Amino acid sequence: MKAGPPLIHLQQDSEGYIRMNRHFPGSAAISITFNDGSEEAVAGTRLNEAYDEALAVYRAQNHLDAKGYSRGPKKKVQAGIDFVPVHPGMSN
């Protein structure tokens, strides 16, 4: 990764997630501190991929289409996600 020092610092929660409710800039260097105390710099593009994967899983589990709309009966459904699973070694 050829980015400067990490400007965004995130902390993994006890369940293995970070708070991320939108894409980060692709060129950003993001530092994640994991539960085991290790720290890793991850490219914004890699975290954006993890976000997209988590969003696809959320939509599939809630029977939503690719744009996040329910094609079933009308009821209130949360539109997105706020947490993304992370693990040490994901920057590779």
Backbone angles phi, psi at 16, to 5 degrees: 95, 20
Question: Could you tell me the residue range of the domain that residue 30 belongs to?
Answer: 8-85
What's the number of domains the chain is made of?
Answer: 1
The pLDDT of residue 4? 57
Is residue 43 within 8 A of residue 26, CB to CB? The reply is: yes
Report if residue 91 sits inside a domain. no
- Which amino acid type is present at position 59? R
Specify the pTM: 0.74
pLDDT tens, position by position, 62-92 = 877 777 777 666 666 566 778 888 888 887 7
Question: What's the confidence (pLDDT) of residue 39?
Answer: 93
pLDDT in tens, 15-66: 999 999 899 999 999 999 999 999 999 999 999 999 999 998 888 888 777 7
Inside any domain, residue 71: yes
DSSP secondary structure string for all residues of 1-24 = ----S--EEEE--TTSEEE-SSPP
